[in-house]
Amino acid sequence: MELKRVVITGLGALTPLGHSVATSWQGLTSGVSGADKITLFDTGKFKTKFACELKNFNPVDYLDKKEARKIDRFTQTALIASDQAVADAKIDRNSVNVDRVGVIHASGIGGLITLCDELKAFYTGDGTPRFSPFFIPKMILDIAAGHISMRHGFRGPNFAVVSACASSTNALIEALNYVRLGKADIILAGGSESVINEAGVGGFNAMRAISERNDDPATASRPFDLDRDGFVMGEGAGCLVVEELEHALKRGAHIYAELAGGGASADAHHMTAPHPEGLGALSVMEGALADAGMDPGDIDYINVHGTSTPLGDIAEVKAIQHVFGDAAYRLNISSTKSMTGHLLGAAGAVEAICCILAIRDGIVPPTINHFTDDPQFDPRLNFTFNQAQQREVRAALSNTFGFGGHNASVIFKKYVS
């Protein structure tokens, strides 16, 4: 069976750097940090008091007030990002077969804010169950995909993907396979996450996973730096229109890039820690290259998982050097989490957009907040420290790895007819 070619024809995003793709990309290429003191709850008793929140976000600026009240923040951002992507792709539901347009939308955690709010209300009340009728529909992971399909009238494949921080990359891989196997013409694929609340911050604090650099939040996310002390929580959403090439050409769609391939693997090692030699990361990058029919030398840029954790950054770089060999020294490597924070289940979608725009504009966003070299890293590698770099990007690879040992990678390349 001959696989169909798959392209990206629309983008949407809300990130801590902006409420659109354009504003987010401007912040990324300018090296802006999205980290600041948390405003969403009182952090007085918490070890970490900062995060990368969506700045000045009010859902009713984008959604009907009644509609916004019925959905969790992770679904609100999902809907807004999907609106942007559909508009960007110029999809007219009256001129496409809506039975062949699907939605695969991911989240690592889902409606944690709703869950906590409902339980707090219950336990501070008189013990009589007075849960909102929207409690369960607001909380469950799949609901964002459902709301996106209802909003746009898309009746194709519709489901959620969850693999922790690899979730939305896995959603992109699922979309790729549905489209290239001819099971759909278009899939809206992406992810959203909003868990900057007491449970989210308290839980990650208890794991010692997030930074406690409260004296200087803007520089707290420092991947590959000697003094990195954990990731910075972020929130937001990303949505990509994944479309079969001939279908896109027939309707005159703008093509950003080709989605060339993807890979998935498991560390099979530890509940939260990566394999120390990066074996799962090694395997997933090799799988993505094989799926795309590409060689290591074909890749110019890797948007790494790069969360700013002591163990994770080292394991990923070991894997990159093993897979790419001498070609690793010709790569640009960068972690945009140094600016957006870690968007958890939404990270893969937002970072995929970064790869696509790097291809489009010939610019690699930086890894900011680098102050002190870590001698564990080969100094010949180009981590794109502190300042964006201009170069031709023919193809870019995006890595995302999740708790549970879930690994996913996708490759985008410049579209050539």
Q: Cβ neighbours of residue 125 under 8 Å, at least 6 residues apart? A: none
Residue 342 known to be catalytic? yes
52/347 Cα distance (integer angstroms): 13
- DSSP per position, 81-110: HHHHHHHHHT--TTSS-GGGEEEEEE-SS-
Which pair of tokens denotes residue 356? 């696509």
Residue 19 known to be catalytic? no
Buried b (16+ CB within 10 A) or exposed e, 130-155: eeeeebebbbbbbbbbbbbbebbebe
159/148 Cα distance (integer angstroms): 11
| Catalytic member of 19, 247, 342, 406 | 342
Which pair of tokens denotes residue 129? 């169950």
Q: Cβ neighbours of residue 184 under 8 Å, at least 6 residues apart? A: 100, 101, 102, 156, 157, 175, 178, 244
Q: Which amino acid is at 211?
A: S
Which helix (DSSP H) or strand (DSSP E) does residue 287 occupy?
A: helix 279-292
Helices (H), 297-369: 310-324, 337-340, 347-361
| Catalytic member of 52, 165, 239, 355 | 165
| Catalytic member of 105, 152, 305, 406 | 305
Residue 52 known to be catalytic? no
Known catalytic residues?
Answer: 165, 305, 342
